[in-house]
Chains A and B, each alone.
Chain A
Amino acid sequence: MKPGHGEVLLAEGDIDVRADEEALVEEFRRQLELGMWAAVPVSAPGGRREARMVRDFADVPRDADRVIFFPRAAGGC
């Protein structure tokens, strides 16, 4: 998510392809270094949906189809 733009595709690839995985890991780290939070939307029991916050690429479920980066929360108003 990017202010003024909405969703922006940062990187995509097949996690089972080594070169793709490296590119995804690199982009993941870059986003976290920029101060973004990363989340993976997942299904929870009872038909609920929730987000799983991830701080390391290894925490991303292997079957996740995407990771969403969004600006870190800060106290506002």
Chain B
Amino acid sequence: MALALVATSIVILALLWEVSWPTVSEQLERRRAGRARVPSLDIDPGRERRAEQRARQLLRSCVNDEEWEMYRDLGFIRVWGALADGLERDHGGTVATELGAPYAYLLYPHKPVVAYLPQTRELLNEYCVDFPDETRPYGSARLPDSDDVLAKWMALTGDERRLIETANMHLPGRQVDPKRVRRDLWRLQEWERQRMRRRARADGDPAGRDSETVSE
């Protein structure tokens, strides 16, 4: 009789254990997770903003006044092409650029460099270029916007050929909307007109005042 009771008790205990174990296990896991030390994430929300502010100061100290004001007001910088032999067709130029027609680039932050002909506003190419930091063992964060523009400006004015040979060249419109570029070229033209008027006015030239009166 006693043996039967013991056996029944064991069976009951085993069944109870089987039924209650998932619940007990879950509660133990929760308790463990609740007591676990959560690693604090070292996120500084102002870091990127401060980095961009420093980058803007650095850019301003490197480029001339016109380029800085262009970037501040329009969000891009125009750099004139300066290859002695002109921009060859192999590198995205045209017959005109090979013969010496002036060409220029628009530098946008984190967008391809856009080459164009200022006289006709014809878009020539997009040059896709990045500045990845190979020193980081785990991928690469982006340069601040103004640093990216400055890196392009330095690489282009310092060694134009090397930059365009390094970049991946594509037809216009692959990354940057041609409509946007043409609009930016129009904005640039207007911006230059206004800047010239302001300078003429500052120099006391009445022509600056007259041209403004006529056009406005």
Contacts and interface: CB of A to CB of B under 8 A. Distances in A.
Of B55, B136, B151, B163, most buried by chain A (CB within 10 Å of CB) is B151
Interface in A43-71: 47-53, 68, 70-71
A5 B46 CA distance: 11
Contacts of A18: none
Interface size class of B (residues with CB under 8 A): 35 or more
Interface size class of A (residues with CB under 8 A): 20 to 34
B71 to A, nearest CB: 13
A74 interface: yes
Contacts of B126: 77
Given A39-B158, A71-B134, 19 more contacts: A1-B58, A1-B147, A5-B47, A6-B53, A7-B54, A34-B134, A36-B135, A39-B154, A47-B64, A48-B64, A49-B63, A68-B58, A70-B150, A71-B140, A73-B129, A74-B131, A75-B128, A75-B129, A75-B167
Interface of B: 47-48, 50-55, 57-58, 61-64, 67, 112, 126, 128-136, 140-144, 147, 150-151, 153-155, 157-159, 162-163, 166-168, 170, 174-175
Interface of A: 1-7, 34-37, 39, 41, 47-53, 68, 70-77
The 10 A-B pairs with the shortest beta carbon distances in the complex, nearest first, are A77-B128, A76-B130, A6-B51, A51-B154, A51-B158, A50-B157, A4-B141, A53-B158, A75-B168, A3-B141
